[in-house]
Amino acid sequence: MSQSEEKFEYVSSATLPTRWGQFRIHGFVETDTDQEHVALSYGNWEEGEVVPIRIHSECLTGDALFSTRCDCGFQLEKALQNIVEHGKGILLYLRQEGRGIGLLNKIRAYNLQDNGLDTVEANEHLGFDADLRDYGICKIMLAELGVKRVNLMTNNPKKRAALESLGVEVVNRTPIDHGITDDNRHYLRTKTEKLGHEFDPHLLK
């Protein structure tokens, strides 16, 4: 195990019934920061099998407070639904609010967006990079769950590149073009144009 991998530690697992089905929830911690992350797993798989996964960064406003100014909550629900329909899969839920800037700074960024900046400009105006997320823990989480080959549900090619750099084989990338509304259409266009996300362009008109 590399020095960077040693800062991540598996904690415990339990059953987690949801509206879509009964998952297992697995807790992990970054030992140097005490930051906590979870994985939800559903079904069983053989060694070497390609498993559908979603890497989802925490979004309190979208995931829990039903905001429509982003597509996060919509994608979270769609990913869980897809996993259950497939009969197996994993959702890695990373505590990286606001692409890594934290909840209160995200609210500050929202205020700047209310006054004309886009999501990238707002983060940069606050002194942050456009995206500060670190996907290093994903390798430990997947290894704990016995997965080395994945079908990655995402519109963000950088997530694929991050997993591949960690030695995880991404056999396929499946887009989630879901939850596009009048409230978040400009936000999603910005993610496409400035952050490299891939959406069906007809859906963003």
133 catalytic per annotation: yes
- Determine if residue 69 is labeled as part of a ligand binding site: no
Does 164 belong to an annotated binding site? no
Whether 34 sits among the annotated catalytic residues: the reply is no
**72 annotated as belonging to a binding site for a ligand:** yes
Determine which one of 24, 133, 149, 160 is catalytic: 133
- Does 99 show up as a binding residue in the annotation? yes
> 179 a known binding residue?
no
DSSP string across the chain: --TTGGGEEEEEEEEEE-SS-EEEEEEEEETTTTEEEEEEEES---TT-EEEEEEEE--IIIIIS--SSSSHHHHHHHHHHHHHHHT-EEEEEE--HHHHT-HHHHHHHHHHHHTT--HHHHHHHTT--S-----THHHHHHHHTT--EEEEE-S-HHHHHHHHHTT-EEEEEE-------TTTHHHHHHHHHHH-----GGGG-
Q: Is 160 within any annotated ligand binding site?
A: no
Question: 151: phi > 0 → left, psi -120 to 50 → alpha, else beta; which?
Answer: beta
Residue 159 among known ligand-binding residues: yes
Question: Has 138 been labeled as part of a binding site?
Answer: no
154 is in an annotated binding site: yes
| 31 is an annotated ligand-binding site residue | no
Tell me if 24 is assigned to a ligand binding site: no
What single-letter amino acid sits at 46?
A: E
Give yes or no for a contact between 51 and 88, defined as CB atoms under 8 angstroms apart: yes
Residues assigned a catalytic role: 131, 133
Name the binding residues for Zn(2+).
59, 70, 72
List the binding residues for GTP: 54-58, 75, 97-99, 119, 154, 159
Annotated binding site: 54-59, 70, 72, 75, 97-99, 119, 154, 159
